[in-house]
C-alpha cells in the first residue's frame, strides 16, 4: 500500500472520533504526514475536531494534559525523541480518555517502550486492521477513560480498505455496552472469533482450545486480576467493534498446523506465506493487556519448542528466546529451518533473527572536504528537488569508485549509462504492455508511467505502485523481471554535475565540452569563486573562457549566469528552468571568496561589486522560448539593464540623426575617441589658464574630502570669503582632480575630515591612493604647487595611546605627502579638534588668516556681510510647506538623485535618499555616480496591519524595492533599494493599501508605537486606538504629500493656501517620537521616546489613563559631549481623553523652545535639561489649562517580546515569530517572506509589528489555527529554538544603504552572536535573556543605550562597547570601551559571562550584575552619561592601556 493510505485511514478515525487531535510534527524541514488528511477533513467533515500542532522538540505530554476532553487523540510518526518526552507523562495520562496513534516504519523498538506504561496497547499490520483498531481504541478510551496506544505500520503490502460512514463513528462511540459483552464473565463470546482459536482457526480444531482454556479467563489461574479485568474491557470493546465493521477483531492470529512441535510468536508484519511442517506462527494484535493463560492458549500442548522470536521447551513452560524480525517478504522454508537449527544450538541469551534486517548506513570517512560556502547553492538544489536530486559527481562516491568520480568526463559517462539503463527500462515496460494477458490495473499503471516518466513527482509515485503490483502479482514475464531489476530507474531524477571554474580553462577539450555537446538531459553547475577585487591577479598566461557564452553558441543548451548573494529569486528561477529543459543545461554561479574562512558578509560585498560593475552579468538563455517565438535571452542585472536602456536610447537618437544628416556621421563617431576628448580637455585647460592670468589675484583651487558634510561646509564658507577678497575660486572634491592637473595648479587649499580608523573620507580615497603611489615611486611632480591643509578630527575618538596616531591622520598624511612630492607649504597645517570649546572652529580661526596672508589678500577690507549658511530651517521655511522642487527632481532623468535641499524635505514624506555603499568606491573609480536609491518608511500607528495590506506590502517590495522589506524599531515597514522612477508608483501603491508615508520621518511627530500585548485583547484595542488618535492629531496638514505623490492638485491660481496649525512653516526643531507602553511589558522602550504614555489599568481591568514620560532620546555624536542619550522623566498622569492634547502641548513647547541653531542639540531632551524639568512641565500645564495628576504606581519586568503562542481574553490566538533584526526575506531554509505571504492569503486576523522588530500573527480563531500552524511549520517560522541572547537582540540597517553608518550592524550582529553564544553555552546560560543591541553609528535607531550590552559603530570593524543598561529599559548603559574589534570584544565578554554565571544573585540580570560586580558605574541621568565612563576600578580602560 502507499504510505498515505494507512495514515489517511487512521487520521480520519482520529479526527471523526475526537474532540481534540494533537498532531506531532516531525523534525524540520519535514511536515506532518497526517497534516494533509486533517486539512481535507476540516473542510469536508461535519464533525469539527480541534487541531493542535505540537512542534518537534515541544513536550507532547504537557500539551495532551492541557487538552484532555471526552476523547483526545495524538498522532505521530515514530521518533525516539517524541516517545522519550511522552513517556514521562504517561503515568498521568494512563487514566484519561486518550488514544496515541503511532505510525511506525519497520522498527518497533521505540514504540514498545510505551507498552508497560499504558493499560492498552494495540498493534496493526494491515491497512484494514489499522482502521478497525483505530475505532476499537477510540471506543475503549472513551468508554473506559483509559489511555490506549495504537501502533500501526505506515507501509503495508495490503491496500484493501473498507471505511465506515462518518455518521456511524460518533454513534459507535457513545453507544452503551452490548448486553452480551463479557463484562462479568469470560465464558460467552470472548473467544468466539476473538482470539483466533475459535471457529475461524485455520485447521478447524479451535473449539477444544476455546472451552479448555476458558476458565483461565474466568479467574481460575494465576493471572493478575487487574490484567484480567482490563482484558475483559478489551473484549467488550472488540465485540462492539466487530458488530459495527462485521470483521473479526482478534488479539492473536495463528497459522500453520494444529499439532506443531514448534510455535513462533511474531511481533510485526504478518506477511509470512511460507509453510514449514511442524511449525506454527502466532501474530499479535494486542500487546497489553495479555493474561498469561491466554498466551498459553496460543501454544498447543503438543509443541516441543517455542520462540517469541523465541525458544526451546524445558519442562512445562517454554523458555523465551528473543529475536529480531526483519523484512520477511522474501523468506523461504529453508530460512525457517535455519532459524530452528540456530535456536537448537544457541545459548539462551543468544539473539535470533528472521528476515532481512533494515540496512544500516555506516558513516563515510576519507571524503574530500566540500567548501562550506558551496552550501549556498547545494542547499537550494536540495530544497527544490528533494529526493529527485542526484549529484552525479558527488564526493561521497569517491570511497567506492575513486577520485575520478568527481571529473566531468566520468560524471557524463555515469549519466549516459543511467539513460541507457532507463531506455532499457522503457523498452521493458513497452514489451510488457504488449502482453495480452497483462492485468488491466497493472496495464493502466504502466501506461500512466510511460506518459509521466519524465515527471519527477508522478514517475516516483507510479513507479512505487508498479513495483508493489509486480511483486504481489503471480504474473510471470521476462519483461516484468527486467522492470523489477531496473526499478531504481522508474523515478525521474534531476541530475546535476557540480564543478569549479577551473573547467573553463580548456573548454574545447574538456569533459565539460562533451557534456555541452552531448544532448543529454543533464544539468551542470559551474561555481566561479574569483573575487571581483582580485580579478586582476590572475595569471595572464592562462585565459579563462566564458562558459556561458561557449554554451550558448551551441544553440541547444539552456544557459544561465546567477549569483545567490545578489538575487536568490533569480537562482531559483534558473534552477527550475534548467530542470525543466530537455537537454544540457549550464548554470554558472558566482561565489567569490578567497578562503573558506572568508565571512559570508565579504562574499556578499564582492558579489554586489561584480554584479553592479557588469563583471558578472545575471542572465538566462532558454532555447525553447526561441522555438515558441519568444525572446530566448533574459537580462536580469538591473544595473546593466538601466545602462543598456540609456545606451540604446542614445544609439536610437544617433541613428535618427545620421539618417537625417549623413554627412555628420563620421564626426559623431570620431567625437567618441580618446584623442579628441584629450584635445578638448587641453583646450579647456588652456582657456581657463588664459582667463585666470588676466586677473590680478592668483586663482585658488579648494579641494575637500568629506563624509558627513562638516568639511564641505567649511570649504563653502572659505570659498565665499575668498571670492569676497577678489579671488577666483574653484571648489571640488579630492577625487575630482587628477594629479596631472593638480601639478599645473599654483595655489591649492585642502580640507579633509577623518573617517573610520584614521582613513580618508569616501570622496578622497582614490586621490590618496594615487598620491601614495606617486610617493612610492619617488616622483617630484608638484614643483609649482603651493598649498596648505586644514584637517578635521576628534582627539578623543581613539582614546588609547596606541591609537592616538589616528587623530587627523588623513590631513597629516596629505600635508607630508604633498611636501615630499615637491609642493611648497605656504601656511602651516591646521588642526580642527571636536574636543575644543568651539569644536573644529577653534583651530580653523587660527589657520584661515594664515591662508589669506600667503595669498596676499589679508589686508583686503570686506564690506559685504557674509551670507548665512543655508540650514534645514531655511529649507523648511522656503519649501512651500514641504514641496520644494521635489516634483521637478522626480522628472529629471539625468541623475538617480534629488537635489540636496529636496532630500531634506523628502524625509517629511517618509523618504530617505541613499546609495549602495558596498559599491560606492568602485562606481567612483568607473566615473559614474553612486548607485542612488531611496528608503521608504510607512506610517502605521500602533503597528497593526491587515492581511490584504501585508500582501500589498510584499508585492511593493518585489515590484519597486529590493525584494525584501524590514520591520523597523518603530514597528512599521521600511523598503530599501527603490530607485527614483519607482518612488511615485511605490507611494501610490502604499496609499492603495490604505497606508501612507507622510511624517514617517522628518522634523515632525513620527510613527506612534504601542505595546503588542497578545494576551490582553481588550486593552490592546484601547491603546491601539489611542495610538492612532495621537498620530492623527499630530499629523502635518500640508497637502503637498497628496499633490506630489497622488496627483491631487491644489486649486488653480493659489486660491487655496496650505496652513499648519500645529507646526507652522518651520515645523519642529528635530524629530519627535511617541510610544505607548502597557506594564509589565516595556517592549516599546517607552523611556527612549520624546513622549511616553504608560498605561495604568485598574483592578477591574479597565484602562484608567496614562503616566506621562517626556524627554527620552537616543541620538549622540561621537566625541561631542554636548550630546548624550537620555531616558524619559515621568511628569504626571492623564486620562485617555486628555492624552492627545497632552502630547500636543508637549510638542508645542518643544516647537517654541527647541534649539534651531544646532541640530545636534535640538531634541526635546536637551530642551528639558536646558529649561529644567519643572519649568518645562509648567509650560505644558499652562497650555493645557490644568495640572497633570500625580503619577500612579506601575511595574515593568522586561522590554523584550513574548515569543510563541498566546491566547487572548477573547479566545483568539496569537503567535509571536522571531524575525532576526526585522528583515523579511527568503533565504535557503528560511523562506519567511514566502511563508508570511501564504499565511496572509488565508489569515482572517491581523499582523502586529513589534518595536523589537518581530511579528505577531494575531487574532487567529480556533478554526484557522491548524492551517496557520501548518504554514508556520512548513516555512520554519514556528522555530523558537534560539538562545536567549539572540531572541533579545536587535540591530539597525547600517551598511550598505544607510548614509550615516560607520560600521556594520544588521549584517554583522548575527555573526557576533554566533560566537558569544558559544561562551554562553559553555557557562550554561544559553536560555538566559541578555539584551544586546548594535547600531552602525551613534544615532541610536536600535535604542542601544538602553541595552544591557551594546555596540555602537565607530569605523568598519570597530565599536564602542556599552554596559549596565536596565533589563526593563529604565536605565541607560554607559561606555565601557571606546574602540574594540571582534577579538577584543570576545576577550572581554568571556570572563565577564563566566563570572556572571557563577556569581549572579537570584533573578539578577546581566546589566545589574555588571554594576554590582564593579565593571561599570550606573547612569542615573542622561547628563551624567559620560561621568565615570571607561569602567570602574581595576576594569578602567586607562588602567589597561597604562
Catalytic residue among 12, 1223, 1292, 1333: 1292
Full DSSP string of 453-506: TT-HHHHHHHHHHHHHHHHH-----HHHHHHHHTGGGSSPPEEEEEEEGGGGGG
Residue with cell 526593563: 1368
Secondary-structure breakdown of the chain: helix, strand, coil percentages, each rounded to the nearest 5: 45, 15, 40
Q: Residues with Cβ < 8 Å from 903, sequence gap 6 or more?
A: 897, 912, 913
Catalytic residue among 907, 1073, 1151, 1377: 1073
1006 belongs to the catalytic site = yes
Q: Are 1355 and 1303 in contact (CB under 8 A)?
A: yes
Query: What would you report as the CA-atom Rg of the chain, rounded to the nearest whole angstrom?
Result: 40
Catalytic residue among 232, 937, 1151, 1165: 937
Burial class of residue 302, CB neighbours in 10 A (0-12, 13-18, 19+): exposed
Q: Are 728 and 697 in contact (CB under 8 A)?
A: yes
Catalytic residue among 85, 765, 1071, 1377: 1071
Q: Are 1090 and 1110 in contact (CB under 8 A)?
A: yes
Q: Residues with Cβ < 8 Å from 1081, sequence gap 6 or more?
A: 1011, 1012, 1013, 1196, 1197, 1198, 1199, 1202
Task: Identify the helix (H) or strand (E) that includes residue 1149.
Answer: helix 1139-1153
- The total of other beta-carbon atoms located within 10 Å of residue 709's CB is 11
Catalytic residue among 1298, 1307, 1371, 1374: 1298
3-state secondary structure 1261-1286: CHHHHHHHHHHHHHCCCCCCCCCHHH
CA 1253 – CA 1333 distance, rounded (Å): 12
Full DSSP string of 930-949: --EEEEEE-B-GGGEE-HHH
Pairing assessment for the beta strands 323-325 and 352-354 based on DSSP bridges: parallel
Within a 13 Å sphere around the CA of 1012, how many CA atoms are in the beta-carbon half? 35
Judged by DSSP in three states, 54 sits in strand
Please name which of 1322, 881, 1294 lies closest in space to residue 1067, comparing C-alpha atoms. 881
Catalytic residue among 1341, 1371, 1374, 1377: 1341
Please name which of 918, 370, 373, 917 lies closest in space to residue 592, comparing C-alpha atoms. 373
Residue with cell 505623490: 1045
Residue with cell 531489476: 485
CA 74 – CA 843 distance, rounded (Å): 78
Task: Identify the helix (H) or strand (E) that includes residue 1141.
Answer: helix 1139-1153
Catalytic residue among 945, 1001, 1010, 1337: 1337
Q: Which residue(s) pair with 1110 in the sheet?
A: 1091, 1129
CA 1333 – CA 1352 distance, rounded (Å): 9
Catalytic residue among 917, 970, 1006, 1354: 1006
> CA dist 722 to 712, 718, 728, 866, 1206, Å?
15, 6, 8, 11, 68
Strand order in the sheet with 1091-1097: 1009-1010, 1074-1077, 1091-1097, 1103-1110, 1129-1134
945 belongs to the catalytic site = no
> CA dist 837 to 262, 843, 1161, 1410, Å?
104, 10, 15, 34
CA 695 – CA 1434 distance, rounded (Å): 66
1395 belongs to the catalytic site = no
Give all strands (DSSP E) within 308-429, no chain letters: 312-313, 318-319, 323-325, 352-354, 389-391
CA 169 – CA 41 distance, rounded (Å): 14
C-alpha cell at 969: 524599531
1292 belongs to the catalytic site = yes
1001 belongs to the catalytic site = no
CA 1435 – CA 683 distance, rounded (Å): 65
Pairing assessment for the beta strands 1246-1249 and 729-733 based on DSSP bridges: unpaired
Please name which of 1012, 1197, 1206, 1192 lies closest in space to residue 1098, comparing C-alpha atoms. 1192
Q: Catalytic amino acids?
A: 937, 1006, 1071, 1073, 1292, 1298, 1337, 1341
Amino acid at each position: 500500500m502507499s504510505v498515505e493510505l494507512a495514515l489517511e485511514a487512521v487520521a480520519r478515525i482520529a479526527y471523526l472520533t475526537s474532540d481534540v487531535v494533537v498532531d506531532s510534527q516531525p523534525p524540520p524541514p519535514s511536515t506532518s504526514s497526517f497534516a494533509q488528511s486533517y486539512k481535507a477533513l476540516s473542510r469536508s467533515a461535519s464533525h469539527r475536531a480541534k487541531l493542535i500542532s505540537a512542534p518537534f522538540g515541544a513536550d507532547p505530554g504537557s500539551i495532551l494534559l492541557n487538552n484532555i476532553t471526552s476523547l483526545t487523540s495524538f498522532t505521530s510518526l515514530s521518533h525516539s525523541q517524541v516517545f522519550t518526552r511522552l513517556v514521562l507523562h504517561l503515568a498521568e495520562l494512563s487514566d484519561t480518555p486518550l488514544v496515541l496513534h503511532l505510525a511506525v516504519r519497520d522498527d518497533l523498538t521505540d514504540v514498545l517502550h510505551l507498552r508497560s506504561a499504558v493499560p492498552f496497547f494495540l498493534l496493526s499490520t494491515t491497512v484494514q486492521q489499522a482502521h478497525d483498531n483505530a475505532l476499537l481504541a477510540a471506543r475503549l478510551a472513551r468508554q473506559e477513560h483509559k489511555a490506549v496506544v495504537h501502533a500501526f505500520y505506515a507501509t503495508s503490502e495490503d491496500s484493501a480498505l473498507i471505511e465506515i460512514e462518518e455518521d456511524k463513528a460518533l454513534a459507535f462511540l457513545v453507544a452503551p455496552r452490548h448486553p452480551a459483552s463479557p463484562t462479568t464473565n469470560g465464558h460467552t463470546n470472548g473467544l468466539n472469533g476473538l482470539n483466533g482459536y475459535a471457529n475461524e482457526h485455520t485447521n478447524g480444531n479451535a473449539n477444544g482450545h476455546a472451552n479448555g482454556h476458558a476458565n483461565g479467563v474466568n479467574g481460575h489461574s494465576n493471572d493478575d486480576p487487574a490484567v484480567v479485568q482490563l482484558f475483559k474491557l478489551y473484549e467488550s470493546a472488540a465485540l462492539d467493534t466487530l458488530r459495527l465493521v462485521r470483521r473479526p477483531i482478534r488479539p492473536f492470529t495463528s497459522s500453520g498446523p494444529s499439532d506443531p512441535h514448534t510455535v513462533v510468536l511474531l511481533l510485526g508484519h504478518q506477511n509470512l506465506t511460507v509453510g514449514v511442517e511442524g511449525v506454527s506462527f502466532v501474530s499479535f494484535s494486542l500487546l497489553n493487556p495479555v493474561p498469561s493463560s491466554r498466551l498459553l492458549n496460543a501454544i498447543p500442548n503438543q509443541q516441543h519448542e517455542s520462540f517469541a522470536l523465541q525458544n526451546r521447551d524445558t519442562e512445562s513452560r517454554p523458555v523465551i528466546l528473543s529475536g529480531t524480525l526483519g523484512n520477511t517478504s522474501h523468506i523461504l522454508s529453508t530460512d525457517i529451518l535455519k532459524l530452528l537449527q540456530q535456536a537448537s544450538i544457541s545459548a539462551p541469551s543468544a539473539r535470533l533473527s528472521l528476515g532481512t534486517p533494515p540496512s544500516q548506513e555506516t558513516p563515510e570517512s576519507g571524503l574530500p572536504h566540500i567548501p562550506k560556502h558551496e552550501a549556498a547553492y547545494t542547499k537550494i538544489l536540495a530544497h527544490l528537488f528533494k529526493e529527485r536530486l542526484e549529484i552525479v559527481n558527488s564526493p561521497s562516491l569517491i570511497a567506492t569508485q575513486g577520485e575520478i568520480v568527481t571529473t566531468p568526463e566520468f560524471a557524463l559517462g555515469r549519466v549516459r549509462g543511467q539513460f541507457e539503463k532507463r531506455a532499457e527500462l522503457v523498452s521493458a515496460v513497452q514489451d510488457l504492455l504488449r502482453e495480452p494477458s497483462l492485468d488491466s490495473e497493472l496495464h493502466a499503471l504502466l501506461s500512466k508511467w510511460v506518459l509521466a516518466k519524465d515527471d519527477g513527482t508522478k514517475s516516483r509515485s507510479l513507479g512505487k505502485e508498479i513495483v508493489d503490483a509486480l511483486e504481489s502479482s503471480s504474473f510471470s514475464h521476462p519483461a516484468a523481471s527486467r522492470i523489477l531489476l531496473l526499478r531504481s530507474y522508474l523515478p525521474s531524477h534531476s541530475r546535476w554535475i557540480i564543478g569549479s571554474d577551473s573547467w573553463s580553462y580548456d573548454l574545447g577539450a574538456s569533459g565539460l565540452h562533451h557534456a555541452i555537446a552531448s544532448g543529454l538531459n543533464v544539468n551542470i553547475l559551474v561555481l566561479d569563486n574569483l573575487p571581483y577585487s582580485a580579478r586582476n591577479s590572475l595569471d595572464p598566461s592562462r585565459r579563462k573562457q566564458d562558459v556561458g557564452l561557449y554554451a550558448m553558441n551551441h544553440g541547444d543548451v539552456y544557459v544561465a549566469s546567477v549569483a545567490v548573494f545578489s538575487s536568490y529569486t533569480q537562482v531559483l528561477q534558473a534552477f527550475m528552468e534548467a530542470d525543466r529543459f530537455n537537454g544540457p543545461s549550464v548554470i554558472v554561479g558566482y561565489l567569490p571568496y578567497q578562503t573558506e574562512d572568508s565571512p559570508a558578509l565579504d562574499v556578499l560585498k564582492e558579489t554586489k561589486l561584480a554584479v553592479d560593475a557588469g563583471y558578472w552579468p545575471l542572465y538566462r538563455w532558454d532555447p525553447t522560448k526561441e522555438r515558441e517565438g519568444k525572446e530566448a535571452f533574459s537580462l536580469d542585472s538591473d544595473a546593466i539593464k538601466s545602462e543598456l536602456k540609456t545606451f540604446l536610447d542614445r544609439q536610437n537618437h544617433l541613428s535618427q540623426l545620421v539618417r537625417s544628416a549623413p554627412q555628420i556621421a563620421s564626426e559623431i563617431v570620431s567625437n567618441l575617441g580618446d584623442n579628441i576628448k584629450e584635445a578638448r580637455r587641453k583646450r579647456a585647460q588652456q582657456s581657463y589658464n588664459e582667463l585666470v592670468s588676466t586677473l590680478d589675484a592668483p586663482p585658488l583651487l579648494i579641494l575637500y574630502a568629506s563624509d558627513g558634510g562638516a568639511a564641505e561646509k567649511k570649504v563653502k564658507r572659505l570659498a565665499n570669503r575668498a571670492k569676497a577678497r577678489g579671488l577666483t575660486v574653484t571648489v571640488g572634491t579630492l577625487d575630482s582632480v587628477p594629479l596631472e592637473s593638480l601639478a599645473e595648479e599654483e595655489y591649492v587649499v585642502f580640507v579633509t575630515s577623518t573617517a573610520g580608523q584614521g582613513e580618508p573620507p569616501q570622496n578622497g580615497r582614490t586621490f590618496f591612493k594615487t598620491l601614495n603611489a606617486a610617493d612610492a615611486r619617488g616622483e617630484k611632480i608638484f614643483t609649482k604647487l603651493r598649498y596648505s591643509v586644514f584637517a578635521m578630527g576628534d582627539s578623543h575618538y581613539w582614546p588609547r595611546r596606541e591609537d592616538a596616531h589616528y587623530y587627523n591622520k588623513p590631513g597629516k598624511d596629505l600635508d607630508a605627502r604633498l611636501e615630499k612630492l615637491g609642493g611648497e607649504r605656504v601656511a602651516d597645517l591646521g588642526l580642527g579638534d571636536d574636543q575644543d570649546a568651539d569644536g573644529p572652529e577653534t583651530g580653523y580661526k587660527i589657520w584661515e588668516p594664515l591662508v589669506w596672508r600667503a595669498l596676499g589678500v589679508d589686508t583686503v577690507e570686506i564690506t559685504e556681510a557674509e551670507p548665512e549658511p543655508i540650514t534645514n530651517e531655511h529649507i523648511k521655511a522656503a519649501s512651500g510647506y514641504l514641496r520644494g522642487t521635489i516634483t521637478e527632481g522626480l522628472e529629471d532623468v539625468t541623475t538617480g538623485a534629488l537635489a540636496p535641499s529636496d532630500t531634506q524635505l523628502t524625509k517629511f514624506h517618509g523618504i530617505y535618499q541613499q546609495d549602495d555603499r558596498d559599491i560606492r568606491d568602485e562606481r567612483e573609480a568607473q566615473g559614474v555616480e553612486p548607485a542612488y536609491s531611496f528608503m521608504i518608511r510607512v506610517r502605521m500607528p500602533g503597528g497593526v496591519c491587515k492581511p490584504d495590506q501585508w500582501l500589498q506590502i510584499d508585492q511593493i517590495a518585489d515590484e519597486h524595492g529590493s525584494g525584501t522589506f524590514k520591520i523597523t524599531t518603530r514597528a512599521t515597514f521600511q523598503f530599501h533599494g527603490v530607485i527614483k522612477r519607482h518612488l511615485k508608483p511605490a507611494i501610490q501603491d502604499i496609499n492603495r493599501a490604505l497606508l501612507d508615508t507622510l511624517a514617517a520621518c522628518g522634523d515632525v511627530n513620527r510613527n506612534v508605537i504601542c505595546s503588542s500585548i497578545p494576551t490582553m485583547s481588550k486593552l490592546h484595542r484601547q491603546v491601539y486606538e489611542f495610538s492612532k488618535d495621537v498620530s492623527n492629531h499630530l499629523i502635518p496638514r500640508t497637502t503637498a504629500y497628496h499633490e506630489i505623490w497622488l496627483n491631487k492638485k491644489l486649486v488653480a491660481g493659489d486660491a487655496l493656501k496650505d496652513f499648519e496649525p500645529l507646526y507652522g512653516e518651520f515645523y519642529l526643531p528635530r524629530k519627535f517620537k511617541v510610544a505607548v507602553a502597557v506594564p509589565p511589558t516595556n517592549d516599546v522602550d517607552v523611556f527612549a521616546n520624546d513622549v511616553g504614555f504608560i498605561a495604568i489599568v485598574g483592578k477591574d481591568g479597565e484602562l484608567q489613563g496614562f503616566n506621562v514620560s517626556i524627554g527620552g532620546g537616543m541620538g549622540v555624536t561621537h566625541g561631542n559631549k554636548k550630546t548624550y542619550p537620555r531616558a524619559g522623566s515621568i511628569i504626571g498622569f492623564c486620562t485617555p481623553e486628555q492624552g492627545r492634547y497632552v502630547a500636543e502641548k508637549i510638542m508645542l513647547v518643544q516647537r517654541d523652545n527647541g534649539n534651531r541653531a544646532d541640530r545636534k542639540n535640538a531634541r526635546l531632551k536637551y530642551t528639558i535639561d536646558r529649561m529644567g524639568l519643572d519649568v518645562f512641565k509648567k509650560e505644558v500645564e499652562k497650555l493645557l489649562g490644568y495640572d497633570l495628576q500625580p503619577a500612579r504606581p506601575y511595574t515593568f519586568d522586561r522590554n523584550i517580546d513574548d515569543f510563541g503562542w498566546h491566547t487572548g481574553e477573547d479566545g483568539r490566538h496569537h503567535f509571536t515569530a522571531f524575525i532576526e533584526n526585522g528583515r523579511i526575506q527568503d533565504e535557503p531554509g528560511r523562506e519567511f517572506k514566502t511563508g508570511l505571504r501564504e499565511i496572509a492569503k488565508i489569515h482572517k486576523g491581523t499582523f502586529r509589528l513589534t518595536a523589537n522588530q518581530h511579528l505577531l500573527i494575531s487574532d487567529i480563531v480556533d478554526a484557522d489555527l491548524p492551517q496557520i500552524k501548518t504554514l508556520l511549520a512548513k516555512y520554519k517560522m514556528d522555530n523558537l529554538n534560539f538562545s536567549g541572547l539572540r531572541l533579545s537582540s536587535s540591530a539597525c540597517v547600517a551598511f550598505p544603504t544607510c548614509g550615516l553608518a560607520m560600521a556594520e550592524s544588521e549584517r554583522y550582529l548575527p555573526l557576533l552572536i554566533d560566537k558569544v553564544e558559544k561562551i554562553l553555552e559553555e557557562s550554561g546560560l544559553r536560555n538566559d535573556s541578555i539584551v544586546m543591541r548594535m547600531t552602525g553609528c551613534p544615532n541610536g535607531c536600535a535604542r542601544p543605550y538602553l541595552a544591557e550590552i551594546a555596540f555602537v559603530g565607530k569605523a568598519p570593524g570597530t565599536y564602542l562597547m556599552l554596559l549596565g543598561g536596565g533589563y526593563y529599559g529604565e536605565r541607560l548603559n554607559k561606555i565601557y570601551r571606546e574602540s574594540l574589534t571582534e577579538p577584543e570584544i570576545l576577550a572581554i565578554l568571556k570572563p565577564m559571562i563566566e563570572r556572571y554565571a557563577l556569581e549572579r544573585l537570584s533573578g539578577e540580570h546581566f546589566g545589574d550584575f555588571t554594576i554590582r560586580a564593579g565593571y561599570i558605574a550606573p547612569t542615573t541621568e542622561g547628563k551624567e552619561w559620560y561621568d565615570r565612563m571607561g569602567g570602574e576600578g581595576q576594569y578602567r580602560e586607562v588602567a589597561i592601556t597604562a
